Amino acid sequence: MLEVEHLDVDYRGVVAVEDVSFHVFPGQMVGVIGPNGAGKSTLVKAILGLIPIAGGTIKFCNCSIRKQLHSIAYVPQRTQVDWDYPVTVQNVVMMARTVSTGWFRRSNRKSKEIVKSALQRVGMWEFRSRQIGELSGGQQQRVFLARALAQQADLFFFDEPFVGIDKTTEDMMFDIFNELRRNDKILILITHDLGETLAQCDYLLLLNKYIIADGSMKEVVTTENLQRAYGNNILFLNQQEKSA
Ligand SMILES: Nc1ncnc2c1ncn2[C@@H]1O[C@H](COP(=O)(O)OP(=O)(O)OP(=O)(O)O)[C@@H](O)[C@H]1O
């Protein structure tokens, strides 16, 4: 179980995440939503130990999360990745294996098999020798999903996983997400999509520095909650949808 209790994060004294608490159980997929600047990425970075926390605790499987970073996979937003970096598809996925083999050890046969199977799972094995910069957006997203699978993590974070991908890739990703859930993995998705993606989640967190609402889609995605999080813009969006 992932347990976040009373988490506070600030940047040089400016509060970005305030008193955030939630629990996620094995097999659950959680959607984190909220407006730009709500603290979604900050929350994930804090859980991943990439930025210091100002208060609170984060535990995974009853232990401090800092000791278990090897069992956490993170798939960043495509815009956060340097796609000009000269590395092949296969080597990007192999990077996930350095968590267990170490940076300076040659990749062993088992790791090579795991990488092959992850690339096959996302339909990218035949692209293994390509430079990552020579792939389409959807293919790049598949490669990063393969990297997360090859890590054989227990906790997965996906930052805007469905941006710029086609329906086939989206369906394939949902298939994989469901398979991970059946295997008792925990998935946390940051998303701006208030439709299809949220409907697939077991649990939602609506954030705007602090938690505005959490629970099922029906409990969280209400006009009142959305207005509290997004302000009146959300009403404008609703009206546009109705008149379309
Ligand atoms: N490195 C940083 N230094 C100072 N302030 C930061 C830093 N990173 C983020 N912030 C601020 O913290 C707040 C939360 O930012 P964060 O990136 O977590 O929001 P977000 O919900 O992920 O937004 P978006 O949906 O736009 O990606 C914002 O006010 C942002 O300006």
| Angstrom distance (rounded) from CA 180 to CA 151 | 13
50 CA distance to ligand 1 middle (Å): 14
Using the predicted structure, report yes or no on whether residue 188 has a pLDDT greater than 50: yes
Residue 34 near ligand 1, beta carbon < 6 Å: yes
ipTM attached to this prediction:
0.98
Q: What pLDDT, in 10s, does the model give residues 123-157?
A: 999 999 999 999 988 899 999 999 999 999 999 99
Instruction: Report the nearest atom of ligand 1 relative to the CA of 43.
Output: 18
* 42-83: pLDDT as tens digits: 999 999 888 999 999 999 988 888 888 888 999 988 777 777
pLDDT given for residue 166 in this prediction: 86
Strand partners, 29: 187
Mutate to test the pocket of ligand 1, among 12, 40, 50, 209 (most ligand atoms within 8 A of CB): 40
Sheet holding 63-64, edge to edge: 14-24, 2-11, 55-60, 63-64
- Cα(164)–Cα(160) distance, rounded to whole angstroms? 10
Contact (Cβ atoms closer than 8 angstroms) between residue 33 and residue 206: yes
**Contact at 8 Å (CB) between 199 and 207?**
no
What is the distance in A from the centroid of ligand 1 to the CA of 191? 15
Nearest residue by C-alpha to atom 1 in ligand 1: 11
Q: Is the CB of 42 under 6 A from ligand 1?
A: yes
pLDDT (0 to 100) of residue 117: 96
- Residue for token digits 């629970």? 215
Atom of ligand 1 at shortest distance to CA of 38?
Answer: 21
Better-predicted residue by pLDDT, 234 or 123: 123
Model pLDDT, residue 242:
46
* 26-to-3, 44, 101, 139, 235 alpha-carbon distances in Å: 11, 18, 26, 29, 35
For residue 17, which atom of ligand 1 is closest to its CA? 14
* Rg (the chain; Cα; Å): 19
Strand (E) or helix (H) holding 10: strand 2-11
